[in-house]
Chain A
Amino acid sequence: MSLPRTLLDKIWDDHVVCTPAGELPILYIDRHLVHEVTSPQAFEGLRLTGRRVRRPEATFATPDHNVPTSDRRLPIADPVSKQQIDTLRANCREFGVRLFDIDDADQGIVHVIGPELGITQPGMTIVCGDSHTATHGALGALAFGIGTSEVEHVLATQTLRQGKPKSLEVRVNGRLAAGVTAKDLVLHVIGRLSTEGGTGYVIEYTGEAIRALGMAERMTVCNMSIEAGARAGMIAPDVTTFEYMRGKDYAPRDFDRAVAAWEKLPSDPGAVYDRVEIFSAADVVPQVTWGTNPAQVVGVDQRVPDPLAFSDPNERSSAARALDYMGLAGGTPIAEIAIDRVFIGSCTNSRIEDLRAAARVVQGHLVAPTVRAMVVPGSGRVKRQAEEEGLDRVFQEAGFDWREAGCSMCLGMNPDTLAPGERCASTSNRNFEGRQGKGGRTHLVSPAMAAAAAVSGHFVDIRAWEYR
């Protein structure tokens, strides 16, 4: 009898093409997602060596990082951004890759459209030149970010050289309380694991709290695995996953047969992980980051920590630097921090469920006069769905900007940026120095918490929100 295997073991074993003597294993890649920022040099490499894309039909591209989220009928004002998007278009044409272009109804953030179109499927290996590729693991896939040289390797060979990562089970017992979201859960987990606690591992999220999450919430959790250092996060496929997949554009034609195969993917009883970390959902409250990495996070009902309270010298100096950059003093209650900007969007939190949660908070309220707030849907489809449900009107009547799909102010490669010193409540994934604009100060929160901060002008505990 074979040994019980984890979800990671099963996908890994199925995708190892061979392990040449003295070399790293060659891992087959089922889906390769491509965007404009990390691919031009890879396609250029193919041209210089006379190589082709081995399996164009397994490769999907979309421009997302650079695209303006204002009126798409206008030309792109930044000539360098335009050149990068034009280059992606030319490369896709030359190498026969399906492109969801800027004017395509299905364009969007690569990690939103992959699952939305059914390109992402359980049991697959999926890579993209983007660290948030971990998102796709929510469907029970092994998905991780790679560099541009590896993008070129996958384009040319449909494989990667890869040593097998270790497995880390993050088990979350119990249920999240009302007002506490998947974003709060994953920030809480990162806060405990640290930004490098997952380095070298693939995280599998398990437990009652995870099973209870919908697909969008699972994507939020897996998305931020990289912020704990883990290249991939994954959740075993179940009925929630299968129902999500049903009817998707690229879903398998023989769906029942596919489900029968996917049902065999979850970790076997008794399968052994290299490491296990156990969390209790009851410990999780709405989270707000106070520093310049996602592990620098506390509950909304707490205070900004005093750097002297950290025993580890690295953490102490990091905290002191972070507070200096963030313009915060240790001991300040989180709820007293006033904000200037609100960004609802990014591959972490821009799906229809996220926009519904934010709109429910905003309904019947106005954005505080001191705040500028924007909503950037994750894809053209999310935008249309939100408009059908009237969410765009809820946001606009409250004073939010309603934008076109893209990465936008998550990283500010397009014109959506913070000015120096501006403080932002953001549903994105990174609060690094300058991430949303040089000198900008980012606090990571859930969509509901961001919406409430937009209305109040400062952070508030969403659990006490007055819904109208």
Chain B
Amino acid sequence: MEPFITHEGVVVALDRANVDTDQIIPKQFLKRIERTGFGQFLFFDWRFLPDGSLDPAFELNRPEAARATVLLARRNFGCGSSREHAPWALMDYGFRSVIAPTFADIFFNNCFQNGIVPVKLSEADVDELFRRAAAAAAEGGSYRIKVDLRECTVADDAGFSRSFSVDPFRRHCLLEGLDDIALSLRHADEITVWEVAHGLPPVSV
């Protein structure tokens, strides 16, 4: 997995609550058997008009969102289906971090497996970021923010700086880009002990 240490990038503000993974990547695109190539389908039903052209009204298609790599969203982002295709699509499109007041559990876990940092901030702080992004857009510019996983902070260059909390193990794995299966396999002996204690036949290694 690609490590995540710090990332600075353009913010796109998606002002909707309860964005479900069916919207992040609709089911017709789940048939691929690879982990890559999903970015073209990200938010497909919202991004594209029925004739296949980009919908200029959708937040990701606005000029200030060009090359956005940080997604700002509302409550309960990533709810619904467990599909890891959702973070795969976000990552493939270019996103490295999602900031929201709350996330759905499975999506939240899936992000850490794919080098995306989900940042939980208070509702008031998220409101403030929405305001700053809107103000930048009103002046014809983009709003940039820096996510620092070493320090666990989110900051812009105009005085906004907040710390966020993250599970120390997940943070460690992401900072180092570790393969967590390899980490768990270091405990194969303990797994075997558990299996024997629970009357399971030994596995042939």
> Which residues of A does B touch, CB under 8 Å?
17-18, 20, 22-24, 26, 28, 37-38, 40-41, 44, 49, 51, 54-55, 65-66, 78, 80-81, 83-84, 87, 129-131, 145-150, 152-153, 156-159, 161, 163, 195-196, 199-200, 226, 229, 231, 293, 314-315, 317-318, 321, 411-413, 420, 430, 432-435, 438
Q: Which of B55-63, B74-82, B91-99, B152-160 contacts A (4 or more CB under 8 A)?
A: B74-82
| 17 sample A-B contacts, Cβ–Cβ < 8 Å, listed by A number | A22-B168, A24-B170, A83-B33, A84-B31, A145-B82, A148-B35, A149-B84, A158-B195, A161-B180, A199-B104, A314-B74, A314-B75, A411-B81, A420-B50, A432-B20, A432-B23, A435-B22
Find out whether the CB atom of A149 lies under 8 angstroms from the CB atom of B187: no
Find out whether the CB atom of A156 lies under 8 angstroms from the CB atom of B84: no
Find out whether the CB atom of A433 lies under 8 angstroms from the CB atom of B84: no
Q: Which of B35, B105, B184 contacts A26 (CB 8 A)?
A: B184
Find out whether the CB atom of A229 lies under 8 angstroms from the CB atom of B79: yes
Q: Which of B17, B23, B184 contacts A161 (CB 8 A)?
A: B184
Find out whether the CB atom of A159 lies under 8 angstroms from the CB atom of B31: no
With CB as the reference atom, state the residue of chain B lying closest to A148: B84
Q: Which residues of A contact B113 (CB under 8 A)?
A: 147, 149-150
Q: How far is the CA of A24 from the CA of B169 in the complex (A)?
A: 6
Q: How far is the CA of A157 from the CA of B186 in the complex (A)?
A: 10
Q: How far is the CA of A158 from the CA of B34 in the complex (A)?
A: 23
Query: B6-27, CB under 8 A of A: which get 1 and which 0?
Result: 0000000001111010110011
Q: Which residues of A contact B32 (CB under 8 A)?
A: 80
With CB as the reference atom, state the residue of chain A lying closest to B113: A149
Find out whether the CB atom of B75 lies under 8 angstroms from the CB atom of A196: yes
Q: Which residues of A contact B20 (CB under 8 A)?
A: 293, 430, 432
Query: B83: CB under 8 A from chain A?
Result: yes
Q: How far is the CA of A411 from the CA of B80 in the complex (A)?
A: 12
Find out whether the CB atom of B184 lies under 8 angstroms from the CB atom of A159: yes
Q: How far is the CA of A28 from the CA of B190 in the complex (A)?
A: 11
Find out whether the CB atom of A18 lies under 8 angstroms from the CB atom of B82: no
With CB as the reference atom, state the residue of chain A lying closest to B79: A195
With CB as the reference atom, state the residue of chain A lying closest to B103: A199
With CB as the reference atom, state the residue of chain B lying closest to A66: B31
Apart from A40-B33, A434-B22: 20 A-B pairs, beta carbons within 8 A: A22-B172, A26-B184, A38-B82, A38-B83, A65-B30, A81-B31, A84-B33, A129-B84, A130-B81, A147-B109, A150-B109, A156-B184, A161-B169, A195-B76, A199-B102, A314-B17, A413-B27, A430-B80, A432-B22, A434-B23
CB distance from B28 to the nearest CB of A (A): 7
Find out whether the CB atom of A49 lies under 8 angstroms from the CB atom of B82: no
Q: Which of B17, B76, B191 contacts A229 (CB 8 A)?
A: B76
With CB as the reference atom, state the residue of chain A lying closest to B185: A157
Q: Which residues of A contact B170 (CB under 8 A)?
A: 24
Q: Which residues of A contact B179 (CB under 8 A)?
A: 49
Q: Which of A78, A129, A156 contacts B185 (CB 8 A)?
A: A156
Q: Which residues of B contact A432 (CB under 8 A)?
A: 20, 22-23, 80
Q: How far is the CA of A14 from the CA of B57 in the complex (A)?
A: 52
CB distance from A38 to the nearest CB of B (A): 7
CB distance from A134 to the nearest CB of B (A): 11
Query: B69: CB under 8 A from chain A?
Result: no
Q: How far is the CA of A123 from the CA of B187 in the complex (A)?
A: 24
CB distance from B148 to the nearest CB of A (A): 21
Q: Which residues of A contact B22 (CB under 8 A)?
A: 411, 430, 432-435
CB distance from B122 to the nearest CB of A (A): 14
Q: Which residues of A contact B168 (CB under 8 A)?
A: 22
Q: Which residues of A contact B167 (CB under 8 A)?
A: 24, 163
Q: How far is the CA of A396 from the CA of B110 in the complex (A)?
A: 43
Instruction: List the 5 shortest-distance A-B pairs measured between CB atoms, nearest first.
Output: A149-B113, A40-B33, A147-B84, A147-B110, A196-B76
